[in-house]
């Protein structure tokens, strides 16, 4: 548990968030499509080992293994009744690795459906589901809530409201996933542009906003997107968590090819664009985050 508030520290220096969890779990034997959240209880050593590798890579912010932690997402694996125990364990495992110099971000991913009128889930139902998840993450010791990989600003807003209902003082971060459309604009899968997405999140009370996991974005695209985010966010700090470059398909597998040097250079350019928190999404590893963290913290790599 870090006794310095996250937002206070962020006002003083840029921070580094961690990288991918799902691909790291699969590297340790999680079957594709299986529920990774049960590992918070069944294989805490593996989950904690991934957190610790990111912490040792220099990451200040450690994200809980709870992306699919709403009852809606857990229901797909028959675990809808285990929201409290699995999310609480996720925060506890991350907290043990973060130690007293790191901060734990309680991770909240999309619930997996659509809000009405497009889908049949009401905002009230979703708020209740997010609140159950977030209450458990906070009970486990999360320092902030990360509402991530959002496409629908309405869902992001419900996420922020749920976090604030659990604890009005908890910092809330919202990140959207954007794609580049034919005219060269960045839009979410739901068609929302950068300014509208950011405006919705900050109006709801998000204190940090940004992007993660772009769809087929190059590292150059992330830079352009970062500039737009910084402009749209005004005084609100911006977080950017790029994938390890644009993915390629090889033998039916998704491969990310960005090198540590490319990711380190991207981190440096994101900082120069005004981004305050830099991390990674799909395809990133402790090795890539080490290079990015050294770049952000201006640590020279020994030759
Ligand atoms: Zn991703």
Residue 14 corresponds to which tokens in the numbers above? 């840029």
pLDDT class of 154 with cuts at 50, 70, 90: very high
pLDDT digits (tens, 9 = 90+) for 288-297: 999 999 999 9
pLDDT class of 180 with cuts at 50, 70, 90: very high
Say if residue 301's pLDDT is above 80.
Answer: no
Strands (E), the chain: 15-16, 61-63, 103-108, 144-150, 172-176, 178-180, 186-188, 208-212, 238-241, 248-250, 253-255, 277-278
CA 185 to ligand 1 centroid distance, Å? 20
Say if residue 142's pLDDT is above 90.
Answer: yes
Could you tell me what percent of the chain has a pLDDT over 90?
A: 91
Contact 91, 47 (CB under 8 A): no
Q: Residue 37: its pLDDT value, please?
A: 97
Candidates 97, 86, 95, 89; CA nearest to 50 is 97
pLDDT digits (tens, 9 = 90+) for 269-285: 999 999 999 999 999 99
User: Strand, coil or helix: what is 193?
Assistant: strand
Q: Residue 298: its pLDDT value, please?
A: 87
pLDDT class of 303 with cuts at 50, 70, 90: low
CA 177 to ligand 1 centroid distance, Å? 8
CA 25 to ligand 1 centroid distance, Å? 14
Contact 173, 147 (CB under 8 A): yes
CA 119 to ligand 1 centroid distance, Å? 24
Q: What is the pTM of this model?
A: 0.97
Q: Residue 1: its pLDDT value, please?
A: 77
CA 8 to ligand 1 centroid distance, Å? 27
CA 118 to ligand 1 centroid distance, Å? 24
User: Strand, coil or helix: what is 188?
Assistant: strand
CA 63 to ligand 1 centroid distance, Å? 13
Q: Residue 195: its pLDDT value, please?
A: 98
pLDDT digits (tens, 9 = 90+) for 28-51: 999 988 999 999 999 999 999 999
Candidates 237, 152, 164; CA nearest to 196 is 152
CA 20 to ligand 1 centroid distance, Å? 7
CA 282 to ligand 1 centroid distance, Å? 4
Contact 192, 184 (CB under 8 A): no
CA 303 to ligand 1 centroid distance, Å? 31
pLDDT class of 254 with cuts at 50, 70, 90: confident
Within 15-172, residue ranges assigned H as helices are 22-27, 39-42, 44-56, 71-75, 83-98, 123-139, 153-166
Q: Residue 302: its pLDDT value, please?
A: 60
CA 26 to ligand 1 centroid distance, Å? 14
Mean pLDDT of 118-130: 97
CA 242 to ligand 1 centroid distance, Å? 8
117 cis-preceded (ω within 30 degrees of 0): yes
CA 189 to ligand 1 centroid distance, Å? 14
CA 147 to ligand 1 centroid distance, Å? 13
Q: Which single residue is written with the structure tokens 């991934």?
A: 50
pLDDT digits (tens, 9 = 90+) for 193-237: 999 999 999 999 999 999 999 989 999 999 999 999 999 999 999
CA 213 to ligand 1 centroid distance, Å? 4
Candidates 215, 197, 217, 219; CA nearest to 206 is 197
């Amino acid at each position: 548990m870090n006794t310095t508030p996250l937002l206070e520290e962020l006002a003083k220096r840029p921070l580094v968030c961690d990288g991918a969890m799902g691909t790291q779990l699969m590297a340790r034997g999680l079957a594709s499509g299986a529920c990774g959240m049960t590992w918070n209880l069944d294989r805490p050593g593996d989950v904690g080992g991934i957190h610790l590798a990111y912490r040792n890579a220099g990451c200040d912010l450690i994200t809980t293994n709870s992306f699919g932690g709403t009852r809606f997402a857990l229901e797909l694996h028959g675990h809808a009744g285990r929201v409290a125990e699995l999310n609480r364990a996720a925060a506890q495992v991350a907290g043990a690795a973060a130690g007293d110099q790191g901060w734990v971000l309680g991770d909240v991913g999309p619930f997996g459906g659509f809000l009405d009128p497009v889908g049949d889930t009401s905002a009230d139902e979703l708020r209740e589901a997010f609140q159950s998840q977030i209450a458990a993450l906070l009970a486990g010791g999360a320092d902030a809530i990360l509402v991530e990989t959002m496409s629908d600003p309405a869902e992001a807003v419900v996420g922020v409201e749920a976090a604030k209902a659990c604890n009005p003082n908890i910092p809330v971060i919202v990140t959207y996933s954007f794609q580049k459309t034919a005219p060269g604009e960045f839009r979410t899968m739901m068609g929302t542009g950068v300014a509208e997405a950011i405006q919705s999140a900050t109006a709801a009370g998000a204190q940090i906003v940004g992007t993660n996991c772009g769809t087929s974005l190059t590292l150059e695209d992330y830079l352009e997107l970062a500039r737009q985010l910084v402009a749209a966010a005004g005084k609100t700090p911006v977080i950017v968590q790029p994938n390890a470059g644009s993915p390629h398909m090889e033998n039916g597998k998704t491969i990310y090819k960005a090198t540590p040097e490319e990711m380190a250079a991207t981190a440096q350019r994101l900082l120069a664009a005004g981004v305050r928190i830099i991390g990674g999404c799909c395809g990133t590893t402790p090795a890539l985050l080490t290079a990015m963290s050294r770049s952000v913290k201006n640590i020279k790599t020994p030759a």
